[in-house]
């Protein structure tokens, strides 16, 4: 992410988006996952195995595992930042994570939440 303008703020925006979308989220240690296609995302390591998520941007709700919630939140933040910074790097990270999400067992819930 080093070539993305203000890239240090992306992580904080992911945490803030999670806070807005998940009522039980009160902060957590976040795990980092590298994908075989070169992508990456983070997800909250929480005791809860199922999180009720609400997207204030479209009104959709979904119940997701912490990993799937991290995927959804990262997809949203990557998209917002790609438009804000016009960074081709973030566009690539978005599509790499989207490809991974399309193969995820919770793909229907992830895409319902963010679409």
pLDDT of 24 over the 80 cut: yes
Q: Is 98 a domain residue? A: yes
Mean pLDDT of the chain: 92
Domain annotation covers residue 30: yes
Instruction: Express each pLDDT in 30-81 by its tens digit.
Output: 999 999 999 999 999 999 999 999 999 999 999 999 999 999 999 999 999 8
Render pLDDT for 12-21 as a digit per residue (tens, 0 to 9).
999 999 999 9
Confirm whether 74 is domain-assigned.
yes
1 inside domain: no
Does residue 105 form part of some domain? yes
What is the CA 39 to chain-centroid distance, rounded? 12
Taking the C-alpha atoms of residue 69 and residue 40, their distance in angstroms, rounded to an integer, is 14
What percent of the chain is modeled with pLDDT above 70?
A: 94
Residue 60, domain member (yes or no): yes
- Per the structure, the count of domains in the chain is 1
Model pTM? 0.93
Domain that holds residue 80: 7-114
3-state SS assignment for residue 111? helix
Q: The domain that contains 83 carries what CATH number? A: 3.30.70.3580
């Amino acid at each position: 992410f080093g070539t993305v303008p203000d890239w240090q703020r992306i992580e904080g925006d992911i945490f803030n988006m999670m806070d807005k979308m998940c009522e039980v989220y009160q902060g957590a240690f976040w795990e980092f996952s590298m994908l075989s296609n070169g992508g990456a995302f983070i997800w909250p390591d929480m005791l809860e195995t199922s999180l009720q998520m609400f997207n204030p941007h479209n009104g959709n709700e979904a119940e997701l595992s912490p990993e799937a919630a991290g995927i959804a939140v990262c997809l949203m933040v990557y998209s917002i930042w790609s438009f804000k910074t016009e960074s081709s790097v973030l566009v690539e990270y978005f599509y790499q994570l989207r490809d991974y999400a399309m193969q995820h067992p919770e793909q229907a819930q992830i895409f319902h939440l963010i679409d």
